[in-house]
Amino acid sequence: MKQPEHDQHPAKRPNRRTVLKGAVSAAALGSTGGLGVLSEHALAQDNLRARILQLPGVGKGAPTDADWQKVGELCLGPTKANVKEGEFKGVELSFMGLNNQNLHNLLFRGFLRPWEAYTGAKISWIDLAQADYNPRLQQAIATGTVDFDVLEMGAPFEGDVCGKGLASEMPEWVKKQIDIDDYVDYLKPPVGTWNGKTYRVTIDGDCHNFNYRTDYFSDPTLAKAWKDAGNDGEWGVPKTWQQVQIVTKFLKGKKIKGQNAFGYLDAPKPWGGFGFYFLGSRATAYAKHPNDKAWLFDVDTMKPRINNPAWVRAIQDVIDALPSEPADQLNADPNTTGFQQFLAGIGSMIPWWGDIGQVAKASDTSVIGDLVGFDILPGSDDVYNAKTGKWEKLTDGPNHAPNCAYLGWGIYVMARVAGDERRHKAAWSAAAHLGGKDLSLWTVVYPSGFQVHRTSHSNIDEWVAAGYDKKYITSYLNSQFGSYNHPNRAVEPRIPGIFQYYSIAEDELTKIFAGQYDAQTGANNIATAWEKLTDQIGRDKQIALYKASLGV
Amino acid sequence: MAIFTSASQPVRRHHAASRATRTLSRLLIYGALLFWAFVCLFPIYWTVTTSFKSALDVTQGHLIPWLDFQPDWKGWRSIGLSPDSILGTSTARAELVSRFENSIITSLGASVLALVLGSLAAYGLSRFRYKFGWMRNDDILFFFMSQLILPPVVLALPFLVLYKALALLDTRFGLILLYTLTVLPIVIWIMRDQFNSIPVELDEAAFVDGLSIWGAFIRIVLPLAVPGMVAAFILSLVLCWNEYFFAALLTSTDAKTLPVMVASQTGSQGINWWSMAALSTAAIAPLVIVGILLERYIVSGLTTGAGK
Amino acid sequence: MQNSSPVADDRHHKLAPQRVLVSRKNAGRALVVLASAGFLLVLLIQILHSIGATTAGYTDWRPVLYAYLVWAIAFGIGQVMVRGERGQRALFLFPAVLFTVAVVIFPTLFGIYIASLDWNLSSFEGPHFNGLNNLIGLFHDDYYWNALRNMIFYTLAVLGEYAIAFGLALLLNAEIRARRMFRVVFLLPLMLSPVAVSWMIGKSLMEYRFGPAATLARDLGWDNPAFFAFPWVARLSIEAMDAWVSIPFIMIMLLAGLQAMPKEVLEAAKVDGASGWQSFWHVTFPLMLPVSVTVLIIRIIFKLKLADIVINVTAGGPGGATDTVSSFIYRVYRDRSNVGYGTALAMFYLLMIIAFLTVLLRLSKRWTQKVA
């Protein structure tokens, strides 16, 4: 499916500056000659990166199928180095992935078409809606109906797939081809590995950052009102959750540009498990102590921490903030808060994955293009120490703990190709092509559903050359890399059935937010249900895997 | 007819007063009709116009093309059906076409199969008394109806296992079998009503003429039941056409149907309102055409059945 | 299943005494025995093959399907040969019965088996037998009972749908212009898929900020038209969407009933001087009872499966106010991969529905017979 033209193009309307930039790059291209095989030479490499970032080119509309194919074509170099032309003739592979929003699989189709033409392999596609993804995968595993060779999958499912021996270990040549050492730290092992074996070609990095409206926090009227209300400190972007709460309550009933002003936006409606991440983002600063890697369960017993004072405080924060949020907030899931509220100009603060920044300036839905700023998630003045059972104030200021939620998408090859050497190589070649270093630059710059995940993505000049505003993209990349590289980042446990825990929690949380239970009772209910689930899945194994996923 | 026309009867009423009542009642009737027509049409109008809107027009709730917003082929372009993209190659359109084909084949196939099996069973249940162990006609009918009750989700694993064993996964034939099962009860129910309404004397006359049971059924009774069959057929078609759950579960590449594609327009990054609206419009279009063409058969078909 | 015309005795043909030749009978029996033996043989080979006892066999079970088909045909022919006209009669019912049994028997048995397991798809040990624990757990599951309570509301709401549909059917049955156009228009909502209804109506048309429905509600004086944020409003909103899709179905059935009603009865009522209301209440409504009962029961069965709209629009919220049994089972089964418990929930639900329907059918039979 073609990417609709208007949609999510990071490049804004052409202006003099961007057009000039385009001209410069075009001139640079002219000197390197045609489209042929590119040498591995560093200069050519840089040219290639500059060149794909001009596809479709600034101000020339959103990428289409043709652009994806061109990018795929241009990035075939590493594949050509490892695979002879026509080597996989007659090989048929089946690829299962998401059909979200005209992203994911639709891009892969375009990227892989030139790969198919070169190698001679043929790929058939299984497209799934996001809601069907998890059940389809689980049921395929349980009934032995795994009918795909290559799989697009999120790290949280690694426990279910790699833990059951269904995935194929990554060959050494693939690691070299994709330059696996380029991944940002938090995506390096143990993420992507299982029992010491590497399985995943990472194509995405995920963590929650903090998105806010710059116009709100520089508005003189609001600043005056803030002073008049007798608040401490200057009017500005909240740095801690305590401040977020105060600002949110303060903004209720205020106006900005003639519209109702709102502060933080919570997402209380269940979202197939994904909604729990948003409570997580509120909780990590309270619950993730710098001296303790664990924050969701006790590491030795899998005893849930969801009902400890830190998490209960986060839940209570939501309860306290909801009356100051829009009236229909109870039925808002993260999709609503992100795309129908924040990007549409409602509310001033949300946590989200990097998508918001990627599309804020480009999407037609967005009316706030230049008014978004980014930061890592707010911290907390005090942090709960689960070992001592006490709240502590850290000497070096507020405790920050970015929520590395979901850990991004990756490409996995299934073990069922192992029997046939050619299929095995073909499947891995396809995965390596999609996870290629240069190709990944294109996917994180243009709308794709994927965010930065390599150190080499941090070169701001490349982004600016592609058409991003320097200040904007610096703020964005700092929030992303600042979260990934934060020493106290809260990394999601990759234990089997993790989404089952989230789903149960969402169900209980909606009752709490609807006022049926208080925060502590509700949290206790979640803890009880989680204990039951842990027993059902197998406590000892869960403990071992939890430890492995935390690297302790 | 019952309530409204009789209100206008000049029984023990003054003539002028009755005319006033009559006018009033006409007014009420047409008022109610127009109101409900609006209720039925507005969401469909909203869907169709949304396929021509940009995101901004959606989120600002614009209603009337050209007045409120400038219509654009956006939604249709995304599925390769706009004037400027219809001649070019489009992977989206190719996808849509193949899914359309699968949807048409599976829903037609299942509806026809259900109609054949269902009509036979319904005729049997209408004309003869059966006894299988403790089961009599009503019990047999209840057995069929009970197939309607179970939420399909719990059959997911069993059907996956069964279809894997039978090599029916990702085949149109597999979907047809399953859809037939789900619509068969409704067909049997409508057709039994239909046959009950056809006087049994007709069958007997046919026997006198020397026809066998099957001869009488095929040559005399069946032609009279055509309207009911059309009604049952349309209802089956609608149900099969919109089936989502099993289509998402049991197909992967070759037998994918349309509803799965509509659902895919939602995801983790907002909603492509325009594509979804365009797809929804494209998906109901065939049903609407069938509805307009065959609507009178539904009513007349059920008329003979329900009223007896 | 209740029906507008319960099978009356005179409707059944009398069996004409007919002699079936003994030799033909025997040939028929032989055919059935032969076919059954063949079918069992194929089945046996395949079972042995799949448990690894023999190497002979097929890669999948498809041949068993064909063998079943052949057996079914032979069985049908055999029936006619052995039982003559009785067999011919049975032949009407056999295809549907054999088809249903074939498609359903394995999933049902397997389903009952799963319902007795403690089986979480993520579990390491795989499924293990759990006895009645799933059943016991179900009685302590607040979500399940909450959903059941909601189902009572949704089921009762069918009466409201019925009333509206009856009104519409009466309107369409009155002497009006453009009747055909109205009929087509009124039928249209039936065609929309639940997915499309959830998104285009629930999440767009009824959206708090830009949805035309919310705008209208504001114009009508409701300051805060959040359709899915308060329990009762949310429940009613979900019900309204479901009603919008399904009223055409009820309406068209009732309209058919109305059109088939003998006109003389109404004429007679008029002559007697009955008012519009009286003639509806004493004549039309009772005459429509049989078809009403049928359509209501079908509608209730569909209503009890209500899930898609709830899942997409509210996910059961706020606080479980709109949750249905089916949508809860979806969450347990799909989102949480807890297939053993999920299946047990559904099986118990099935039993409850069957009990409920049986009672309903008994009662309705009494009513319809009283008026008839």
* Interface check C7 vs B, CB under 8 A: yes
Q: Which of C122, C227, C332 is best to mutate for the A interface (most A CBs within 10 A)?
A: C122
Q: What are the tens digits of pLDDT across the range B83-112?
A: 877 777 667 788 888 889 999 999 999 999
**Cis status, amide bond into A190, omega within 30 of 0:** yes
Mean pLDDT, to the nearest integer, of C139-167? 94
CA A438/CA A47 separation, integer angstroms = 11
CA A226/CA A236 separation, integer angstroms = 10
Q: What are the tens digits of pLDDT across the range B226-280?
A: 777 887 888 899 889 988 888 888 888 888 888 888 877 766 666 778 888 888 8
Which residues from B are below 8 Å from C151, CB to CB?
Answer: none
C15 domain residue, yes or no = no
Which of A288, A286, A338 lies closest to A317 in space, CA to CA? A286
Domain end point (choices C87, C102, C131): C131
Domain end point (choices C108, C131, C154): C131
Instruction: Compute φ and ψ for A197, nearest 5 degrees.
Output: -100, 140
For residues C127 and C28, membership in a common domain is answered with: yes
Q: Percent of chain A beyond pLDDT 70? A: 89
CATH of the domain at C191: 1.10.3720.10
Is the pTM higher than 0.90?
no
For residues C122 and C150, membership in a common domain is answered with: no
Residue C305 predicted with pLDDT over 80: yes
C181 domain residue, yes or no = yes
Q: What pLDDT score does A82 carry?
A: 93
Which of A166, C157, C263 lies closest to B5 in space, CA to CA? C263
Alpha carbon of A221: minimum distance to chain B alpha carbons (Å) = 27
Record: contact C231-A514, CB cut-off 8 A? yes
* Interface check C292 vs B, CB under 8 A: no
For residues C59 and C186, membership in a common domain is answered with: no
Closest B-chain CA to A124: B253
Q: What pLDDT score does A501 carry?
A: 94
For residues C264 and C314, membership in a common domain is answered with: yes
Q: Where are the alpha helices (DSSP H) in A267-308?
A: 276-287
Most confident option among A374-378, C19-23, C189-193: A374-378
Domain end point (choices C105, C131, C157): C131
Given a contact cutoff of 8 angstroms between Cβ atoms, the answer to whether A152 and A105 are in contact is: yes
For residues C47 and C179, membership in a common domain is answered with: no
Q: What are the tens digits of pLDDT across the range B124-153?
A: 998 888 887 788 888 888 888 888 777 787
> CA angle, corner B122, sides to C262 and C65, nearest 5?
160
Residue A26 predicted with pLDDT over 60: no
C12 domain residue, yes or no = no
Q: What pLDDT score does A242 carry?
A: 95
Q: Percent of chain A beyond pLDDT 90? A: 57
C119 domain residue, yes or no = yes
Q: What are the tens digits of pLDDT across the range C255-297?
A: 877 876 777 777 787 788 777 788 888 888 888 887 788 788 8
C64 domain residue, yes or no = yes
Q: Is the ipTM of this complex over 0.85?
A: no
What is the tally of structural domains in chain C? 2
For residues C212 and C329, membership in a common domain is answered with: yes
Residue C2 predicted with pLDDT over 60: no
Mean pLDDT, to the nearest integer, of B65-73? 82
Mean pLDDT, to the nearest integer, of C299-327? 90
Average pLDDT score, chain A: 86
C-alpha distances (whole Å) from A160 to each of A129, A138, A140 are: 20, 8, 11
For residues C167 and C268, membership in a common domain is answered with: yes
For residues C146 and C124, membership in a common domain is answered with: no
Alpha carbon of B86: minimum distance to chain C alpha carbons (Å) = 24
Mean pLDDT, to the nearest integer, of B59-81? 80
Range A51-56, long-range pairs (CB < 8 A, 24+ positions):
A51/A25, A52/A438, A52/A439, A52/A441, A52/A442, A53/A25, A53/A441, A53/A442, A53/A445, A53/A462, A53/A465, A53/A466, A54/A22, A54/A25, A54/A26, A54/A29, A54/A466, A55/A442
Confidence of residue A41 (pLDDT cuts 50, 70, 90): low
For residues C330 and C358, membership in a common domain is answered with: yes
C-alpha distances (whole Å) from C65 to each of A216, A458, B250 are: 68, 59, 18
* Interface check C2 vs A, CB under 8 A: no
CA A319/CA A322 separation, integer angstroms = 5
Given a contact cutoff of 8 angstroms between Cβ atoms, the answer to whether A462 and C297 are in contact is: no
Q: How many CB atoms lie within 10 A of CB A420?
A: 12
C243 domain residue, yes or no = yes
Which residues from A are below 8 Å from C229, CB to CB?
Answer: 327-331
For residues C66 and C158, membership in a common domain is answered with: no
Read off the tokens for A34. Answer: 């045609």
Mean pLDDT, to the nearest integer, of A460-487? 90
Torsional sign, CA A151, A154, A155, A158: negative
Q: What are the tens digits of pLDDT across the range A160-184?
A: 888 788 999 999 999 999 999 999 9
Which residues from A are below 8 Å from B85, CB to CB?
Answer: 2
Which residues from C are below 8 Å from B244, CB to CB?
Answer: 193-195, 308
For residues C146 and C276, membership in a common domain is answered with: yes
CA A49/CA C172 separation, integer angstroms = 67
For residues C125 and C150, membership in a common domain is answered with: no
C230 domain residue, yes or no = yes
- Which range among A140-149, A280-289, B145-154, C168-177 shows the weakest confidence by mean pLDDT? B145-154
Q: Which amino acid is located at A502 in the chain?
A: Y
Residue B197 predicted with pLDDT over 90: no
Instruction: Compute φ and ψ for C126, nearest 5 degrees.
Output: 75, -170
CA C217/CA C228 separation, integer angstroms = 14
Domain membership of residue C290 as a residue range: 141-371
C1 domain residue, yes or no = no
CA A184/CA A207 separation, integer angstroms = 12
Mean pLDDT, to the nearest integer, of B1-10? 41
